[in-house]
């Protein structure tokens, strides 16, 4: 057979095959649609050749996706992020159930493209765009994929919640403003969101659904299992999406999502109470001591999930409980501190710190404070400073002047010691607020009746400081330098306890002794 005839026969066979396939294509399309296999949207803004080959090749779309994915990686390596995004958009439309490209695209927007821009608000726009891409588009096509939920939760925990770059405070401030419209106090108004009556409640319910794409039943579940949480903080949202994933994922290891919960619960304990400084709008964080039992419960659940790594988890649990004990102690909740100290010594296998079993509680607290200030993160050091300042205001309110001065002195020295340890480059990212800012933030909490302060104690402190009833409108920088300290301390007016050089006591005795007047 001649070569020409052979080619002619092959051409005829190819034509016949295409004709036969055309008769079956409609039937196949119907079956693909009924089985949920056809999830393609029109490919918009693509070059004509790409649009043509997408339709013409049909089942060979995978080849196109592979080529585009390789090309996008090449562009990524060259720093051409916008071009990479365009290819990623085509890939997600060609293969919407190919989850790696959703995760890659969202990560690229939140972590790479955002850093190209100079101003925090511009950077935030790309961070939020990455979250929306994963949440609004990726999960629409992959509602049962555990890695999608894990990645989404990680964005909230890591990109917004942690301090990985200098703009993290700006991210937290913007996120606070967004979420405050739904959660004005940080706590979810479950009844108002479920059955909104007022215009404000209706708007909050709308934003919860439209802006945050959140389901109230999962918020209830998170609050019940892990709360109380402040929903103006990103770690609460990380826990939410990991919880949704544990409910909806049909494959994979649920532990990948529980790790997000575990890490976010630790963060919620360490800095799960939020305040906004009234003078510069800076976000301030304090520990959330009320969720200590839930955090400990989370550790126990994790040990049950991965029994072969229970010792590893127990190390983290032991460190967490040590921190919880001394913070409870410093905040005047000594009964709870003693109960948890007993729990550590009797119910938790001691792995790292065998000396705990024979050490008195007071000595244990002092040792851990020293370890925290010398080796820990700014948030843990700030928690110690705030605890001393709250004790300062508490003892001032009840007339225990020497103890008030002792706590004030320890707060100042702890702050100075922390700042001496870090270089300027580290301080730009991790530095504490100024001592004055921290002091004002604690004062606001105390006057508002938070922490160990009741409303009565808040009023007593206000009177001792000589502040008017409308004290919020009178707060300004330096307010504590202008208070009537002679009246507060019954000593010379020029004695400022926060600048004192000497002090009686160690600042740790929180007993309600009111003999000193």
Q: Please name every residue paired with 275 in a beta bridge, in sequence order, or none if there are none.
A: 284
pLDDT of amino acid 100: 86
500, pLDDT greater than 60: no
The predicted-structure confidence for 209-241, as pLDDT tens digits, reads as follows 999 999 999 999 999 999 899 999 999 999 999
The predicted-structure confidence for 190-210, as pLDDT tens digits, reads as follows 999 999 999 999 999 999 999
Residue 120 neighbours by CB distance under 10 Å: 19
Cα distances (angstroms) measured from residue 199 to each of 178, 203, 403 = 18, 6, 49
The predicted-structure confidence for 453-494, as pLDDT tens digits, reads as follows 878 888 888 888 878 888 777 666 566 665 544 444 443 333
CA distance 205 to 193: 5
Cβ atoms of 182 and 231 closer than 8 Å: yes
Cβ atoms of 243 and 218 closer than 8 Å: yes
CA dihedral 144, 146, 150, 152 (to 10 degrees): -20
- Residue 283 backbone dihedrals phi, psi, to 5 degrees: -80, 130
Q: Where are the alpha helices (DSSP H) in 188-278?
A: 190-194, 199-210, 216-226, 234-248, 255-271
- Residue 80 backbone dihedrals phi, psi, to 5 degrees: -90, 75
45 sits in the region (left: phi over 0; alpha: psi -120 to 50; else beta) called left
502, pLDDT greater than 50: no
The predicted-structure confidence for 266-310, as pLDDT tens digits, reads as follows 999 988 888 776 656 667 778 888 999 999 999 888 888 778 878
Q: Where are the alpha helices (DSSP H) in 331-360?
A: 334-347
pLDDT of amino acid 516: 34
Q: b/e for 131-142, b at 16 or more Cβ within 10 A? A: bebbbebbbebb
Residue 456 neighbours by CB under 8 Å, 6+ apart: none
Look at 154-163, 397-406, 476-485 and tell me which has the smallest mean pLDDT.
Answer: 476-485
Q: Residue 284, SS3?
A: strand
CA distance 396 to 378: 27
What is the biggest distance separating any 2 CA atoms in the chain, rounded to whole angstroms?
118
Residue 505 neighbours by CB under 8 Å, 6+ apart: 402, 403, 406
Q: What is the helix (H) or strand (E) element at residue 227, kind and residue range?
A: none
CA distance 404 to 393: 7
Cα distances (angstroms) measured from residue 14 to each of 9, 17, 18, 59, 494 = 9, 5, 6, 17, 100
CA distance 451 to 445: 7
pLDDT tier, 351 (very low <50, low <70, confident <90, very high otherwise)? low
The structure's pTM equals 0.72
Q: Which two tokens stand for residue 393?
A: 């205001």
Cβ atoms of 32 and 25 closer than 8 Å: no
157, pLDDT greater than 90: yes
Closest CA to 324 of 387, 276, 411, 375: 387
């Amino acid at each position: 057979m001649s070569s020409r005839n052979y080619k002619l026969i092959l051409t005829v066979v190819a034509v016949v095959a295409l004709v036969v396939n055309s008769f079956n294509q409609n039937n196949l399309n119907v079956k693909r649609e009924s089985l949920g296999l056809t999830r393609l949207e029109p490919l918009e803004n693509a070059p004509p050749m790409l649009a043509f080959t997408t339709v013409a090749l049909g089942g060979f779309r995978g080849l196109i996706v592979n080529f585009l994915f390789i090309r996008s990686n090449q562009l990524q390596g060259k720093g051409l992020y916008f071009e990479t995004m365009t290819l990623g958009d085509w890939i997600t439309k060609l293969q919407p159930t190919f989850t790696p490209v959703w995760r890659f695209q969202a990560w690229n927007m939140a972590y790479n493209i955002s850093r190209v821009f100079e101003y925090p608000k511009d950077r935030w726009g790309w961070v939020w765009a990455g979250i929306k891409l994963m949440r609004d588009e990726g999960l629409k096509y992959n509602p049962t994929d555990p890695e999608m939920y894990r990645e989404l939760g990680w964005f909230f925990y890591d990109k917004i919640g942690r301090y990985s770059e200098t703009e993290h405070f700006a991210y937290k401030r913007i996120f606070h403003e967004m979420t405050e419209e739904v959660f004005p106090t940080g706590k979810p108004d479950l009844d108002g969101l479920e059955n909104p009556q007022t215009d404000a409640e209706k708007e909050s319910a709308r934003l919860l659904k439209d802006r945050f794409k959140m389901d109230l039943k999962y918020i209830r579940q998170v609050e019940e299992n892990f709360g109380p949480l402040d929903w103006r903080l990103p770690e609460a949202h990380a826990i939410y999406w990991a919880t949704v994933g544990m409910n909806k994922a049909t494959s994979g290891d649920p532990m990948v999502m529980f790790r997000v919960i575990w890490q976010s619960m630790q963060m919620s304990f360490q800095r799960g109470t939020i305040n906004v400084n009234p003078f510069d709008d800076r976000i301030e964080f304090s520990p959330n001591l009320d969720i200590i039992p839930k955090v400990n419960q989370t550790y126990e659940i994790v040990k049950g999930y991965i029994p072969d790594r229970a010792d590893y988890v127990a190390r983290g649990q032991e460190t967490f409980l040590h921190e919880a004990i001394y913070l409870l102690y410093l905040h005047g909740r000594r009964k709870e501190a003693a109960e948890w100290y007993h729990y550590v010594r009797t119910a938790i296998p001691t792995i790292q710190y065998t000396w705990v079993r024979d050490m008195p509680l007071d000595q244990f607290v002092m040792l851990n404070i020293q370890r925290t200030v010398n080796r820990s993160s700014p948030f843990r050091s700030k928690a110690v400073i705030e605890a001393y300042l709250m004790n300062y205001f508490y003892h001032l309110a009840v007339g225990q002047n020497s103890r008030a001065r002792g706590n004030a002195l320890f707060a100042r020295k702890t702050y100075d010691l922390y700042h001496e340890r870090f270089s300027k480059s580290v301080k730009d990212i991790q530095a504490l607020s100024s001592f004055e800012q921290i002091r004002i933030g604690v004062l606001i909490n105390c006057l508002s009746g938070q922490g160990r302060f009741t409303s009565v104690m808040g009023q007593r402190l206000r009177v001792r400081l000589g502040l008017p009833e409308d004290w919020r409108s009178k707060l300004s920088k330096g307010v504590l330098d202008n208070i009537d300290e002679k009246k507060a301390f019954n000593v010379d007016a020029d004695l400022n306890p926060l600048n004192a050089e000497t002090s009686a006591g160690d600042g740790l005795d929180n007993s309600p002794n009111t003999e000193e007047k």
